[in-house]
Structure 1
């Protein structure tokens, strides 16, 4: 995926926030959640990824797309880790443009793993491919970012807080219905509650209460935005380890090279 596409997605998400569908974390109450992938050695929970995918597929995908996420990545290690057969079967529930000889006719076909997830069905529903990175849940003193240094960006926490932040109050302004939400800046959002709890039935028997559904889909959206997070953590750890070993070797080499010089200097100083 090109950098241009990533930047375009982030800018689109920020632009669409003006519609009231999604916004930044300023002014709302964000719940701090202990996700499995947050620590330096944390990893994605495979079972949680699969539950989050199910919530997205059965609920969120009716409006929101993941157009920059290839379906084949559902089988990659570190994410949902579905089998190749399961990925192929999952892909068939979506449609993709037919790029064959009759492509100009606008026909569609069943999607295959090499296709991407569909685009959003609603023009006011932002694409969720990078939403977990485009949103900042925590804000410290302006210009310092101290809270983000400690807590991280908090994108998944922001999504989770939005999903569970509806109070049930409604109001209508200028022909638009708004819903009170404790996590959304200003307290009112135009997106109706997407989850109510018990919206899906998980095969692993995990609780499908509202908070658990929201947590699972938030974790899945973090994976969608950062599918290679575990690989980056591993590479970073190996890099730090190699630099540590190199530093020790350089220190020992320096001591060995300069030892005769320092010894001779001490003898000359003693004889003078």
Structure 2
């Protein structure tokens, strides 16, 4: 009798505890947790549709070359591409002579093991893009893998480049940008040290006749940075579809063989 009573009491308290937990969870979910100022004003990246999106997507080499031009003329002064070699540019439509000509415009550091000195020389097609020596405060991130390293990928880069604006009137004083900072709601803490890199339409002159609007410039360099982060994407997808086709064929063949072998078995 005592054992039964103890079980009933324990069951009662378990039910009460479970009920309290459920009610508390529902109450918290309905009321919502208090948001930080950053969370209230932070914006998610706007959608960006590129030709490389989706399982059937492919890179647009003409756009990638425009994006590379934007990188050279706008981003290169502060941001490096240390995981990309000059010869990799052949994958986006440049020929050998063009790649060699591009490489020669860069000064690549070279270590002399005999003297211990580091000197620079014109780049070769086999070299990687040299590191950028930034004289300002902080170290700007390398852009080779930026679309993989940031949530939102290319859409984040695109929105960030176009997102510079004046702080809203209701933004608390302590969250307003201080000296050397700029308000951008697409940046995690709203204030970013990088000044707006895109100043307006026509900042870059495209050789293919594309109108260089501010939005187009941002889209092109975002597409280029998708390629630098995963230059083998097109080949990987082609291989993937070939493997899937082979597996489908092998599955059908195995099923037909099974039917043939076991046709007369009971």
What TM-score range do you get, normalising by the shorter chain?
A: 0.7 to 0.9
Are residue 236 (structure 1) and residue 240 (structure 2) matched? yes
Distance 2:82 2:260 in 1: 58
Paired residue for 1:220, among 214, 218, 224? Answer: 224
* Deviation of the 1:103 alpha carbon: 5.9
Separation in structure 1 between the aligned mates of residue 214 and residue 183 of structure 2, nearest angstrom? 17
SS at match of 2:165: strand
Q: Report the Cα offset of residue 40 of structure 1.
A: 1.0
In structure 2, stretches of 5+ residues that fail to align are 1-40, 169-175
Matched residue count: 215
Distance 2:257 2:42 in 1: 55
Residue in structure 2 matched with residue 165 of structure 1 by the alignment:
163
| Matches of 1:169 and 1:81, distance apart in 2 | 42
Helix, strand or coil at the partner of 2:219: helix
- Which of structure 1's runs of 4+ aligned residues deviate more than 2 A? 26-29, 98-106, 120-123, 168-173
Which of residues 62, 66, 90 is equivalent to 1:75? 90
Query: Is 1:54 matched up with 2:58?
Result: no
Pair 1:200-2:204 in alignment:
yes
TM-aligned CA deviation for residue 27 of structure 1: 4.2
251-260 or 163-172, which deviates more: 163-172
| In structure 2, C-alpha distance between the alignment counterparts of 1:168 and 1:190, rounded to whole Å | 15
The aligned residue for residue 85 of structure 1 is 97
Q: TM-score, normalised by structure 2?
A: 0.76
Contact 1:65-1:117 at 8 Å conserved across structures: yes
**Per-residue deviation, residues 141-160 of structure 1 (Å, max 9, x unmatched):** xxxxxxxxxxxxxx011111
Superposed CA offset, 1:85-142 (max 9, x none): 11111111111123457663322111111111121333520111111111111xxxxx
SS at match of 1:133: helix
Is 1:177 matched with 2:175?
no
Distance 1:103 1:183, change over 3 A: farther
Taking structure 1 as reference, are residues 35 and 107 closer, same or farther at Cα in structure 2, changes over 3 Å only?
same
- Other-structure match for 1:38: 53
Tell me, in whole angstroms, the C-alpha distance in 2 between the residues paired with 1:87 and 1:52. Answer: 16
Aligned residue for 1:212, secondary structure, equals: helix
1:191 aligns with 194
Which deviations, in whole Å up to 9, do the C-alpha atoms of 1:56-76 show, x marking residues without a partner? 001100000001111110012
The superposition leaves residues 193-234 of structure 1 with CA deviations (integer Å, 9 ceiling, x where unpaired) of: 011232110001112111100000010011011000001000
Residue in 1 that maps onto 2:14: none
Q: 8 Å contact 2:111–2:117 — kept in the other structure?
A: no
How far apart, in 2, do the equivalents of 1:103 and 1:218 lie?
42
Larger Rg: 2
| Separation (CA, whole Å) in 2 of partners of 1:63 and 1:88 | 23
- Asked if the contact 1:93/1:110 (under 8 Å) is kept, the reply is yes
Check if 1:249 corresponds to 2:261. no
